[in-house]
Amino acid sequence: AQSVAQPEDQVNVAEGNPLTVKCTYSVSGNPYLFWYVQYPNRGLQFLLKYITGDNLVKGSYGFEAEFNKSQTSFHLKKPSALVSDSALYFCAVRDWGSGNTPLVFGKGTRLSVIA
Amino acid sequence: NAGVTQTPKFQVLKTGQSMTLQCAQDMNHEYMSWYRQDPGMGLRLIHYSVGAGITDQGEVPNGYNVSRSTTEDFPLRLLSAAPSQTSVYFCASSYRATNEKLFFGSGTQLSVL
């Protein structure tokens, strides 16, 4: 079975400060890992994904995520937060060897960037 | 390029009524899916399809039916609406089932009274 956890419901950060949104996962094999962002009254938008290779993945809007196999984590980061980054962020996982099994999403973390 | 189009955007139903949420994509995607989003619950998969004529159940399929007669369309039917089905519904698609860059519609906000 595959699962993903986002341990923080809410993250608050001051504009200009670095931000981290945490994600841990569980799969039986190797993971596909994803981050999506949801702005108010909108559908989710793809930010970035990790499949294999470099543990640091760069994505849209200046976001990046670091894959850590030993800690089974895939935390989302940005060096300098903007007020416009305020949104709901979802981590998702899928096991490589699971055929057509769909992505499993975490419960989401609400990021609030304060000016 | 319209992407994933969902209709209606808002709907209010009475308990026991039936309705169909429409989803269409114009990207020739094989994979389509329906999620519901509830506060504190994240996104939960209702049904999905890996191609025309093929559908499968997700995490919370009870009370919902789907069909996939064409590549473009993936309607979600509520057979007899219940207050527990009050939620925001999202349709999502991707090129292939194994290509998980999902494209999401803008959602349908459903209230069942």
What integer best gives the mean pLDDT of chain B?
93
B104 touches chain A (CB under 8 A): yes
Confidence at residue B39, expressed as pLDDT on a 0 to 100 scale = 86
pLDDT at site B99: 61
Cβ–Cβ contacts within 10 Å for residue B19, how many?
15
pLDDT at residue number B37: 94
Q: Give the percent of chain B with pLDDT over 70.
A: 96
Three-state secondary structure along A36-80? EEECCCCCEEEEEEECCCCCEEECHHHCEEEEECCCCEEEEEECC
Task: Render pLDDT for A19-57 as a digit per residue (tens, 0 to 9).
Answer: 999 999 999 888 999 999 999 888 899 999 998 888 999
pLDDT tens digits, residue range A61-98?
999 999 999 999 999 999 999 999 999 999 999 887 77
pLDDT digits (tens, 9 = 90+) for A8-17: 999 999 999 9
Q: What value does the mean pLDDT take over residues B103-113?
A: 95
Facing B33 at nearest CB: one of A32, A102, A108: A102
Residue window 37-76, chain B: list those with CB within 8 Å of chain A.
40-43, 45, 48, 50, 56, 58
Neighbouring C-beta atoms of residue B6, cutoff 10 Å: 22
- pLDDT reading at B111 higher than 90: yes
Would strands A109-114 and A10-14 be described as parallel, antiparallel, or unpaired? parallel
Mean pLDDT value across residues B43-61: 94
> What's the pLDDT score for residue B1?
64
Residue B98 sits at the chain A interface (C-beta within 8 Å): yes
Inter-residue contact A107 to A6 (CB < 8 Å): yes
Please say whether the beta carbons of A44 and A108 come within 8 A: no
Q: Give the whole-angstrom CA distance, residue A66 versus residue A24.
A: 11
To test the contact with chain B by mutation, choose from A4, A23, A39, A46 the residue with the greatest count of B C-beta atoms within 10 A, namely A46
Establish if B33 touches chain A: CB-CB under 8 angstroms. Answer: yes
CA distance B82 to B90: 18
